[in-house]
A and B are shown apart, each in its own frame.
Chain A
C-alpha cells in the first residue's frame, strides 16, 4: 500500500484570502503563520537539482536555509 506524506495526509485548506500576497494577513494572527525566521526559504524545496558533478553542486551546508 502506498504510504502518504504526512503533509498531504494532514493538510487542511487555508481559506483566508490575501495570504498568498505575502505579508498582509500572514503575521497578524497565529493561525496560518509560519512563525519561523525564514518562512519563505524554509518552504523552498530541497536538492532536486543536485548533481554529482562539482560544477552543478550546491555548496551551501544548509541548502534551504541561509
Chain B
C-alpha cells in the first residue's frame, strides 16, 4: 500500500472531493487539509517529522496542492488584523509543509507560484514558437494603444475577484478597452493585461497532466467576449481533436515544470491557434467526461504511486 497522499485543499471543492473519492475506491485514505482546516485537525511540524490530526505523515508520500486556503471574499478581515496575520501565518505553515521532506508533488509549491506569472508564460510560449496575442502591461493607456492599436481587450493580471467599497463581491471579466475606459481608467493603480483583440472562431481549453492531454472546444460566436460571463457556456464545451495544440500545450507545461495545467487557447478566424494563458491550479471537471476523466485518472494514478 502506498503512503497516504497529502491533498491540500478542501473537500467542499468538487475537484479535490472527486480525487479523494477515487483514492478511497483504491483503499487509499488521503490526508486532506488547508490553512483553515489545519486549525481543527491539529498539527505539529519539525524538520524531520510532520503530524496532522494525530497521524505521522510519511516523508516519502505524494501530494497535490489544490488550494492553500479557501477563498475569502467578503470576510472583511483588515490587512494587519489578528485574523489576517493569523491566516498568513497558517499559509506559511502550509507552505513549509509543502516544502517538507522528500515528498513528490504533482506540482511543487514554488514551481506552481512561478508558473502563475502570465507574462512569463507568454515569454516562454513565444520562445518555443507558440503564437500569442500581442500583449502589454502599462500604466499609460496611450502606450497600450500605440503598442496594440485601438482594438484591445483588458483583463486582470491575477485575480479578478474583489470586494467593492460597499462590501459587495465583484468580478472583472475580459473587457474591451473603450474610449470611456481609456479616458477615465487609472491604469497604474491596478496593473491589467492588455492584449490585441483577436477575432475568435473557437475557444479551446487544453488540460495537461504529465503527458496526458485533452482538449475541449467552445464555438465563440454563441457567447460573450469572455465566455465565463455566461453560465450556460460551461455546459457547451465539446471534445476537440487537435494533436498539434495538444503537443504544444504539453511542451509549455514541461517548460514551466508543472504536473498539471489548465490552458486557454484561441482558434482565430485566420492564422494558427494562439496560447492565451495557463493555470497550474485551474479547473477541468466542468468539461465533458471524455476530456476530464483521463486527467482525473492521471492525478489519481500519480497520488497512488502508479505513475
Contact = CB atoms under 8 A, between A and B. Distances in A.
Contacts of B154: 6, 10
B122 to A, nearest CB: 17
Interface residues of B, number: 65
Contacts of B184: 1, 3-4, 9
B171 A37 contact: no
A39 B71 CA distance: 6
Interface residues of A, number: 43
Interface in B141-187: 154, 156, 158-162, 164, 168-173, 175, 181, 183-187
A45 to B, nearest CB: 4
A26 B13 CA distance: 8
B87 interface: yes
Q: A31, A38, A66 — which one has the most chain B CB atoms within 10 A of its CB?
A: A38
A37 B112 contact: yes
B222 to A, nearest CB: 16
A36 interface: yes
A14 B172 CA distance: 10
Most buried by A among B15, B36, B189: B189
A41 B87 contact: yes
If over half of A's interface residues share one DSSP class (helix, strand or loop), that class is named, otherwise mixed; here it is loop
Given A6-B190, A12-B171, A22-B12, A37 B67 contact: yes
A12 B158 contact: no
A40 B10 contact: no
Interface string B115-129: 010000000000000
Contact of A11 (B73, B87, B171): B171
A5 B73 contact: no
A42 B77 CA distance: 13
Scoring A1, A19, A43 by chain B CB atoms within 10 A of each residue's CB, the highest score goes to A43
B228 A7 contact: no
B185 A44 contact: no
Given A28-B286, A38-B91, A43-B159, A4 B112 contact: no
B172 A11 contact: yes
Contacts of A4: 184-186
B293 to A, nearest CB: 17
